[in-house]
A = this chain, B = another copy of it.
Amino acid sequence: MEDEVARAIDEVNKEKLEKFRTETQNTVKNLAHEIYRLDEEVYKQLGSSLGRVFSGDKKREIHSIISALNDPDGYKIRNDLVLISNMARTIKNKNMRKSVMQEYSQILKKVRSLPESFAGNDIMDYELAGLNQLNLKTRFASNHTIICIGRTYGSGGTDIGFALADKLHINYYDAEVIKESENILEALENEKKKNFLSRVIYDFGKYHGLAKEDAQFFKQSELILEKALTEDFVIMGRCADKILTNNHIPHISIFITAPFEIRAKRIASIKHNISLRQARKLLKKIDAASKRHYRNYTLQRWGDIQNYDLCINSACFGIEGSVELILRSMNR
């Protein structure tokens, strides 16, 4: 009995699928004719002197459009459409151009809605996109805005992060500020507890056995996660992006850099008593150390585009321009 029901359902589904396939193939066939007609129309409007995308035998051309529409890669059909629309935009008569472009837009919409259209295969990674606060589509309104900024030395990234926090009226953290905050918070806690020893013993027990650098990293990671639950902020470096990603906390992850030589010149102009040659040497050393640190704690390549949401060349924007670009990309 159950078998029979299952078989019946199977049959219905099979029929449904068959119907769906037939319908899709009819849509594809009609679309192919529409595309052919559009090409013909554009060709007529531009006069016989201009080339035509589908200039061969009509039956064969329609057949080739159909197979292009059925290809999930979609490369061929997109190019055909592009060529037609590039041509169409050169039609001199304004009304005619508008009417042809409207027709083109409708065809494009239909192509996009095909089950296997070229727009159907997105590159979006749902986990990454879900954690990316710049992706307004997946953004959770209830989350705090957390902006993680990695940057190369001399790129002005720190200035950009600071100015950004100031514009957004949110807190700003970098290595120095975190260290100072820790000191202040520790003093506060000690005053509260009036028991410095218990704190030291607690920290000792928790981070015992770790190298000093590791202990500091884990302590800072905890602080970052704590802050992420309670406030909006900009944080510089600290592998904060990876710490938040690993803990599934949405944030914005930005990397800022500029060409080496431009950074070296800037350092030489900012730092007293440092020549351009010394600046270059210093830069190489600091870049290498940052790279090592990031790989050490994230197992990823520092400054590699695929590890961030967005990367900015600050030499192309300047400090103020970079801040504005970030604000625009946040829709502010």
Asked if A135 is an interface residue, CB under 8 A from chain B, the answer is: yes
Partner of A188, one of B49, B163, B166, B185: B49
Which of A9-17, A58-66, A126-134, A202-210 lies at the binding interface? Answer: A126-134
Question: How far is it, in angstroms, between the C-alpha of A119 and the C-alpha of B322 when the chains are bound?
Answer: 13
A270 contacts B319, C-beta separation under 8 Å? no
The CA-CA distance from A260 to B136 in the complex, in Å, is 24
Interface bits A147-177 vs B (CB < 8 Å: 1, else 0) = 0000000111011001101100101111011
Tell me the minimal C-beta distance from A170 to chain B in angstroms.
Answer: 8
Cross-chain contact B49 with A156 (CB below 8 angstroms): no
Is B50 a contact of A255 with CB atoms below 8 Å?
A: no
Instruction: Compute how far the CA of A82 lies from the CA of B166 in the bound complex, rounded to whole angstroms.
Output: 9
Q: Does A191 contact B (CB under 8 A)?
A: yes
The answer to the question of A23 belonging to the interface, with a C-beta cut-off of 8 Å to chain B, is no
**For A187, what are the chain B residues with a Cβ–Cβ distance below 8 Å?**
51
Stretch of A28-36, A275-283, A309-317 on the interface side:
A309-317
> Is B176 a contact of A79 with CB atoms below 8 Å?
yes
Chain B, residue nearest A127 (CB): B315
In whole angstroms, how far apart are the Cα atoms of A314 and B272 in the complex? 41
CB of B188 within 8 A of CB of A51, answer yes
Kindly state the separation between the CA atoms of A262 and B155 in the bound complex, as whole angstroms. Answer: 30
- Judging by beta carbons under 8 Å apart, are A86 and B177 in contact? yes
Mark A284-317 against chain B: 1 for CB-CB distance below 8 A, else 0. 0000000000000000000101111111111111
Residue A93 at the chain B interface, CB threshold 8 Å: no
Which of B53, B124, B174 is within 8 Å of A321, CB to CB?
A: B124
Restricting to A77-96, which residues have a CB under 8 Å from any CB of B? 78-79, 82-83, 85-87, 89
Find chain B residues with CB under 8 A from A82 CB.
162, 165, 172-174, 177
Q: Is the CB of B125 within 8 A of A316?
A: yes
Residue from the set A73, A123, A176, A312 with the largest chain B CB neighbour count within 10 Å: A123
A112-144 interface (Cβ within 8 A of B): 118-119, 121-125, 128-129, 131-132, 134-137
Cβ of A212 < 8 Å from any Cβ of B? no
Q: Does A40 contact B (CB under 8 A)?
A: no
If A79-B180, A119-B163, A316-B135 touch, whether A306 touches B257 (CB-CB below 8 Å) is yes
CB distance from A30 to the nearest CB of B (A): 21
Q: How far is the CA of A156 from the CA of B318 in the complex (A)?
A: 29
Contact between B134 and A316 (Cβ–Cβ < 8 Å)? yes
For residue A27, CB closer than 8 A to chain B, the reply is no
